[in-house]
Structure 1
Amino acid sequence: MTSELERAMEGLITVFHNYSGKEGDKRKLSKKELKELLQTELGCFLETQKDTGTVDGIMQDLDENGDGEVDFKEYVVLVAALTVACNSFFWEDT
């Protein structure tokens, strides 16, 4: 039986690979694939963003090596940053 954290990790991996490789390298997300992932998996987050360049900005911030794609490590940085932000927002010290 797997733990909750192990299932969460498996979910992160599965989500990445459900979107990666539709165009080109199966181990990376193109800008189009990243946009689809963000819109589908984080639609509520993007709904609040009125800036049409949000995906471009996220892509630029994540693409550490400048190859125009987001690899798994770069994707995990996004998920970790959003998780920290959500924790700060939803889990207030009382």
Structure 2
Amino acid sequence: MDADDFSWWRKFVHTDDVEASMAQWRHSLKTGEPMIEEKRLRRLDGTYLWFRDTGVASRHDQGRIFGWHRHTEDIDRRKAETALRRSERSSGC
């Protein structure tokens, strides 16, 4: 698979998040730095939820990258809870 072929992936990522997400992934591929980002991903029913995507390079003893360990965590509920707490504080509840 071509590292620049995001066609399969674009249909799942919210259009407002695509460019920044692609730029972050390309940067991590080029530099080997970890990738940590938050983006909205589309569910099968068409709704979007927030996720935190983390990628860390696996390296040979000589430092060459041979793969990536990735983890995607659903943070949508946490964002909603944080917004609710913020709203409650501002309204004096």
Instruction: Give the alignment's TM-score, normalised by structure 2.
Output: 0.31
| Greater fraction helix | 1
More strand by share: 2
Greater gyration radius: 2
Q: Which has the higher contact order (CA 8 A, sep 6+)?
A: 1
